[in-house]
A and B are shown apart, each in its own frame.
Chain A
Amino acid sequence: MIEVQHLTKRYGPVTAVDDVSFRVEKGEILGFLGPNGAGKTTTMRVLTGYMPATEGKAVVAGFDVFDQPIEAKARTGYLPETPPLYPDMTVREYLQFVARLKLGALGRAERSQRVETAMRRTHVDDMANRACGKLSKGYRQRVGLAQALIHDPDVLILDEPTAGLDPKQIIETRDLIRSLAGDHTIVLSTHILPEVAQTCQRVVIINKGRVVAEDTPDNLTHQLKGAATLYVQVAANGDTADVLRAVPGIRGVLRVDGSAETTGYEIDVEPNVDVRREIARTIVNRGWGLLELRPLRMSLEEIFLQLTTEEQPEEAARE
């Protein structure tokens, strides 16, 4: 449904997006994850035809966004970072204007129908006659979403759709987005990590304009977790680390915190070996106190940080 090939966007000497390629299948929700300034918004602006790419191409719903912009735009709904509302218009007037812009070929009655449907779906119908400029942030965001949905597009591009919403609205918006998948192909950007895990089927992590990872949220968590890691806190004096290292199945021991009496270790364990029993026995046999023993599962948050910060030197080495 969406195909991006070797997309590059330069603003003068600054490269905002550097050779980005990805595909989104029909009905899929793709999460676009990256720190601020990573090139998410730029990529989305190219996809929506707001700006042309310097190099590479993007095909949306079967139409090249540069060669056939009108056809591609007619099949794309876009919610920019700031919802594009006209403060003087009421919500209904605004959506009617957008409907005329995007669905001019339809009759007036049918357009009104679409406006009412879009307002109901995004739960803004209670504010239909309120001026857009007087809406709260949550309502603005949802009117922006209604605007993107109004022409029932094949592709929805949402730039941080939950930014600025309160927790209840965030849950509602995520539910709404999930309910839209299937009929619509959705690309959403965010820097909120749980959002990706909860909403998206696939994640593209982008940093400094480049794609650093692309997979399902589960796979990413799994893959990057690598060998399992345990956290152990021991109340002991002496050379605890060496003793632990001697336990079979342990690859490495790293002291991560500690005080005069206690020491905390991160223990690298060989895959598919459960050494917890062995560790506990060893510590207790020595007469030390076992204060804590728990597996460390890498959260998406850590993966994200690892990919966007720590992997930098490794990436450089690969080139």
Chain B
Amino acid sequence: MSRTIRNVMTIAGKELRSYFGSPVAWVLMGLFAILFGYFYNVYLNFFVSPMQQQFGPPPTKNVNSEMIRPLLQNASVLILFLLPMITMRTYSEEKRSGTIELLLTSPVTDVQIILGKFVGAIGLYAGLLAVTFLYVILLFGFGSPEWKPILSGYLGLFLLGASFVSIGLFISSTTKNQMVAGAASFVVLLMFWIINWFADSSGPTTAAILNYLSVTQHFDDFGKGVIDTKHLVFYASFIAFGLFLTLKSVDSERWRG
């Protein structure tokens, strides 16, 4: 077991180094910080603007539900664009440059390689989230938000991102071309995003399935401060399935050569 962890961490470390060794990580971090900052600014202005009220005392406002929750909701849209850029090169670049031969002929298992790449990618993603966390902490200086819904919101965001990463890994493992991997990942993630839009126009059973598959539906409760096992199970199985597909894809690649 310790050997498994060691190998996974070796690969994860290499992945992180390659993200930060090239401009990828820095560009994504900067981009994410700017966009998140923009939304932060918009919601903050809206939140502090005085409400038009003619009678009675000024209404109370909740910084958690009126500012942080929509902010994290927006962040979840941002990662839809950003995560394919993180995962697109994970496998395809190794296949194109031939370095996959080093990994596949080293004394490590396919599962360890996949987990290593997964941990590396979500490590970078956690870094992106950590940057945005600074904005949220600022709010504590000027108000008194509740910290539990913030943490649950970030947990939801993290799980959502990890699910996206597992799909992105799979798609990257099917092609040598990282642009194709990036574009295809984006399209597939978008599908999971909007899948429940079709729920209204379909029968009750189909609607239930589509709603269940929608990654956003499961994210909502986390934003409200609810950590429901149902959603945890959904994300865990989503991630496991994505990694399983990656494993099968790498394995079949071996047989086909």
Q: When each residue 7-40 of chain A gets 1 if its CB lies under 8 Å from chain B and 0 otherwise, what string results?
A: 0010110001000000000000000000000000
CB atoms of B10 and A78 under 8 A apart: no
Interface size on A, residues (CB 8 A): 36
Partner of A73, one of B100, B107, B255: B107
CB atoms of B255 and A51 under 8 A apart: yes
Closest to A144 in B: B102
Partner of A80, one of B6, B101, B255, B257: B101
In whole angstroms, what is the CA distance A240 to B255 when docked? 62
| Known pairs A11-B256, A88-B18, A93-B17; A70 contacts B109 (CB<8 A) | yes
CB atoms of B10 and A51 under 8 A apart: no
Q: When each residue 98-113 of chain B gets 1 if its CB lies under 8 Å from chain A and 0 otherwise, what string results?
A: 1111111111110000
* Residues of A contacting B17 in the complex (Cβ-Cβ under 8 angstroms): 88-89, 93
Closest to A85 in B: B99
* Residues of B contacting A52 in the complex (Cβ-Cβ under 8 angstroms): 254-255
CB of B115 to closest CB in A, whole Å: 14
Residue B201 at the chain A interface, CB threshold 8 Å = no
CB atoms of B107 and A97 under 8 A apart: no
| Known pairs A78-B105, A104-B10; A51 contacts B254 (CB<8 A) | yes
CB atoms of B254 and A84 under 8 A apart: no
Residue A258 at the chain B interface, CB threshold 8 Å = no
Residue A76 at the chain B interface, CB threshold 8 Å = yes
Residue B205 at the chain A interface, CB threshold 8 Å = no
In whole angstroms, what is the CA distance A100 to B109 when docked? 14
CB atoms of A49 and B99 under 8 A apart: no
Partner of A86, one of B3, B13, B18, B109: B18
A residues 60-82 touching B (CB-CB < 8 Å): 70-71, 73-74, 76, 78, 80-82
CB atoms of B257 and A84 under 8 A apart: no
Q: When each residue 66-92 of chain B gets 1 if its CB lies under 8 Å from chain A and 0 otherwise, what string results?
A: 000000000000000000000000000
Partner of B105, one of A50, A81, A88: A50
* Residues of B contacting A16 in the complex (Cβ-Cβ under 8 angstroms): 257
| Known pairs A50-B254, A70-B107, A100-B10; A88 contacts B98 (CB<8 A) | no
Closest to B110 in A: A69
In whole angstroms, what is the CA distance A12 to B256 when docked? 8
Closest to B7 in A: A104
Residue A171 at the chain B interface, CB threshold 8 Å = no
Partner of A74, one of B97, B107, B109: B107
- Decide if the interface of chain B is mainly helix, strand, loop or mixed: helix
Closest to B116 in A: A101
Q: When each residue 160-200 of chain A gets 1 if its CB lies under 8 Å from chain B and 0 otherwise, what string results?
A: 00000000000000000000000000000000000000000
Interface size on B, residues (CB 8 A): 28
CB atoms of A84 and B102 under 8 A apart: yes
CB atoms of A84 and B101 under 8 A apart: yes
Closest to B98 in A: A82
* Residues of B contacting A100 in the complex (Cβ-Cβ under 8 angstroms): 10, 13
* Residues of B contacting A105 in the complex (Cβ-Cβ under 8 angstroms): 3
CB atoms of A49 and B14 under 8 A apart: no
Q: When each residue 91-121 of chain A gets 1 if its CB lies under 8 Å from chain B and 0 otherwise, what string results?
A: 0010001101110110000000000000000
Residue B37 at the chain A interface, CB threshold 8 Å = no
* Residues of A contacting B107 in the complex (Cβ-Cβ under 8 angstroms): 70-71, 73-74, 101-102
CB atoms of B106 and A73 under 8 A apart: yes
Residue A308 at the chain B interface, CB threshold 8 Å = no
CB atoms of A104 and B254 under 8 A apart: no
Residue B52 at the chain A interface, CB threshold 8 Å = no
CB atoms of A98 and B102 under 8 A apart: yes
Residue A226 at the chain B interface, CB threshold 8 Å = no
Residue A87 at the chain B interface, CB threshold 8 Å = yes
Residue A42 at the chain B interface, CB threshold 8 Å = yes
CB of A146 to closest CB in B, whole Å: 12
B residues 1-59 touching A (CB-CB < 8 Å): 3, 6-7, 10-11, 13-14, 17-18, 21-22
* Residues of A contacting B22 in the complex (Cβ-Cβ under 8 angstroms): 88
* Residues of B contacting A49 in the complex (Cβ-Cβ under 8 angstroms): 104-105
In whole angstroms, what is the CA distance A87 to B3 when docked? 27
In whole angstroms, what is the CA distance A89 to B102 when docked? 15
| Known pairs A49-B104, A49-B105; A86 contacts B6 (CB<8 A) | no
Partner of B7, one of A42, A76, A86, A101: A101
* Residues of A contacting B256 in the complex (Cβ-Cβ under 8 angstroms): 11-12
Residue A147 at the chain B interface, CB threshold 8 Å = yes
Interface pairs A-B: 8 shortest CB-CB: A84-B102, A88-B21, A74-B107, A82-B98, A84-B99, A73-B107, A48-B105, A80-B101
The chain A residues found within 8 Å of chain B, CB to CB, are: 9, 11-12, 16, 42, 45, 48-52, 70-71, 73-74, 76, 78, 80-89, 93, 97-98, 100-102, 104-105, 147
The chain B residues found within 8 Å of chain A, CB to CB, are: 3, 6-7, 10-11, 13-14, 17-18, 21-22, 97-109, 254-257
What would be 28 A-B contacts, judged by CB atoms less than 8 Å apart? A9-B257, A11-B257, A16-B257, A50-B101, A50-B254, A51-B254, A52-B254, A70-B109, A71-B107, A73-B105, A73-B106, A78-B105, A82-B97, A82-B98, A83-B98, A84-B100, A84-B101, A84-B102, A85-B99, A88-B18, A88-B21, A89-B21, A97-B13, A98-B102, A98-B106, A101-B11, A102-B107, A104-B7
